């Protein structure tokens, strides 16, 4: 394994690595081949308390910061696993924690912390609006003590392995609000109850082993008390939570990147062609060294974003930049790793092609690279708005 300087998180790293070591490459490979869900792995992470890292102690979690939580995610990916199966449980509850009422926090958080309930899903994206979230068409209309939801979502992950979902819906028509970001609200949706009346789930087969779905809502009724925070301010609440999501996913990419560098350096040191290890050729060394440098640089931005988030300072720019740098670096490392494994990179038993597919996702989701560039250009640098 490539040596990194010991940091102050070494105890967390060692503990997560020890847990992950119980789930070798073959475990993740088989789950991937079966398009299954790593239930035993997620259960082990849950019972060890790692997925409740960000939940304050008074609600049953361990009350750690985003930096520690990001190290947990990084180590899962660095060990050959894929935190994408369970990262929602780590950050979705942040919306509830920051904007829910005390009664809501007391109702949901202890059960999420213990793992009795999974809050792994967040329903934002829609087929017709895509990244342009303010144009969502799913509506929630108040009728007495219920909200009635109609519309459609797409790419909603982990619905079949979650008990609850945070749903973003329009509660005031776009035409009736002053700012397009107003008039949307967020709700807690009891997924199993919803499937019994008003919500249809259609799985989307995709390139990675990532459980994701189309959702159709037809007069789905949600109790009024499931509204989080104030009606009409849901878009702002969702944006708040996205900084944690982006920083944690940056850490996952860093974990992936380090896994690729570990594998490719080991392979390039051993594989002998033309009478010498392939890693002795500078044409092989340089792309690997370059990817390593990019990963280390992304890591600094990840910890900058974490420090700001944990200090309750604005961190939108840093969270986005960390995700941008890390997703790019892990892809660069993935490409070098696949390339220098030659034909063997394509064989399932080396796990390179699996991790290659998994890490590619993060330049598209949860936010595409272009949208990060647009955010930095317009919101950080003040260039004229393009939309």
List interacting residues with ligand FAD (CB under 6 A).
122-125, 130-131, 155-157, 206, 210, 212, 361, 364-368, 370, 374, 387
* Least spacing, CB of residue 249 vs ligand FAD, in Å: 11
CB of 373 to ligand FAD, least distance (A): 8
Strands 119-123 and 139-143: unpaired
Q: Which is nearer to ligand FAD, 274 or 387 (CB)?
A: 387
Residue 308 tokens, joined: 């700001």
Closest by alpha carbon to 160, among 105, 96, 88?
Answer: 88
Residue 152 vs 368, nearer CB to ligand FAD: 368
Least distance in angstroms from the C-beta of 8 to ligand FAD:
32
Task: Please give the Cα distance from 169 to 353 (Å, whole number).
Answer: 37
Nearest-CB residue for ligand FAD: 130
Q: Which of 74, 245, 252, 358 is catalytic?
A: 245
Give 157 or 185: the residue with its C-beta nearer to ligand FAD.
Answer: 157
Tokens 């609006």 found at:
129
CB of 15 to ligand FAD, least distance (A): 28
Cα gap 153→129, rounded to integer Å: 10
Task: Give me the least distance between CB of 282 and ligand FAD, in Å please.
Answer: 34
Are 72 and 44 contacting, i.e. CB atoms less than 8 angstroms apart? no
- Closest by CA to 112, choosing from 165, 68, 65, 149, is 165
Question: C-alpha angle with apex 230: 229 to 231, nearest 5 degrees?
Answer: 125
Give the largest Cα separation in the chain, rounded. 79
Q: What angle do CA 28, 62, 168 make, to 5 degrees?
A: 70
- Between 210 and 233, whose beta carbon lies closer to ligand FAD? 210
To the nearest whole angstrom, how small is the minimum distance from the Cβ of residue 178 to ligand FAD? 23
The DSSP result for 282-342, as a single string, is: HHHHHHHHHHHHHHHHHHHHHHHHHHHHHTT---HHHHHHHHHHHHHHHHHHHHHHHHHTG
In terms of CB distance, is 175 or 205 closer to ligand FAD?
A: 205
- Nearest-10 Cα torsion for 213, 205, 158, 258: -140
Spatial distance between the Cα atoms of 351 and 159, rounded to a whole number of angstroms: 26
Task: Give CA–CA dist 79/66, Å, rounded.
Answer: 20
Active site residue 245: yes
Residues recognised as catalytic: 245
């Amino acid at each position: 394994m490539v040596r990194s300087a010991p940091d102050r998180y070494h105890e967390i790293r060692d503990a997560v690595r020890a847990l992950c070591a119980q789930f070798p490459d073959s475990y993740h490979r088989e789950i991937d081949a079966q398009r299954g869900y790593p239930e035993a792995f997620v259960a082990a992470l849950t019972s060890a308390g790692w997925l409740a890292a960000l939940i304050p102690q008074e609600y049953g979690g361990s009350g750690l910061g985003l930096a520690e939580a990001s190290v947990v995610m990084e180590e899962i990916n660095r060990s050959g696993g894929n935190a994408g199966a369970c990262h929602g449980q780590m950050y979705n509850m942040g919306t509830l924690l920051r904007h829910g009422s005390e009664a809501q926090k007391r109702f949901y958080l202890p059960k999420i912390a213990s793992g009795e309930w999974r809050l792994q899903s967040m329903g934002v994206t829609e087929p017709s609006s895509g990244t342009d979230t303010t144009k969502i068409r799913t509506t929630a209309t108040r009728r007495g003590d219920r909200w009635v939801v109609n519309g459609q979502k797409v790419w909603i992950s982990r619905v079949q392995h979650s008990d609850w979902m945070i749903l973003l819906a329009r509660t005031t028509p776009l035409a009736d609000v002053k700012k397009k970001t107003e008039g949307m609200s967020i709700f807690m949706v009891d997924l199993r109850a919803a499937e019994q009346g008003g919500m249809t789930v259609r799985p989307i087969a995709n390139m990675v082993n990532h459980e994701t779905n189309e959702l159709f809502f037809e007069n789905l009724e949600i109790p009024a008390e499931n509204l989080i925070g104030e009606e009409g301010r849901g878009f702002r609440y969702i944006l708040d939570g996205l900084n944690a999501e982006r920083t944690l996913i940056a850490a996952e990419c860093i974990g992936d990147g380090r896994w690729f560098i570990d594998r490719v350096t080991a392979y390039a040191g051993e594989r002998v062609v033309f009478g010498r290890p392939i890693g002795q050729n500078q044409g092989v060394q340089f792309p690997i060294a370059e990817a390593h440098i990019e990963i280390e640089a992304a890591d600094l931005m990840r910890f900058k974003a974490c420090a700001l988030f944990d200090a309750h300072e604005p961190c939108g720019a840093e969270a986005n930049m960390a995700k941008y740098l890390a997703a790019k670096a892990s892809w660069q490392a993935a490409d070098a790793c696949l390339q220098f494994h030659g034909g063997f990179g394509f064989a399932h038993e080396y796990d390179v092609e699996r991790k290659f597919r998994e890490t590619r996702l993060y330049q598209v989701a949860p936010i595409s690279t272009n949208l990060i560039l647009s955010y930095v250009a317009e919101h950080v640098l003040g260039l004229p708005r393009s939309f």
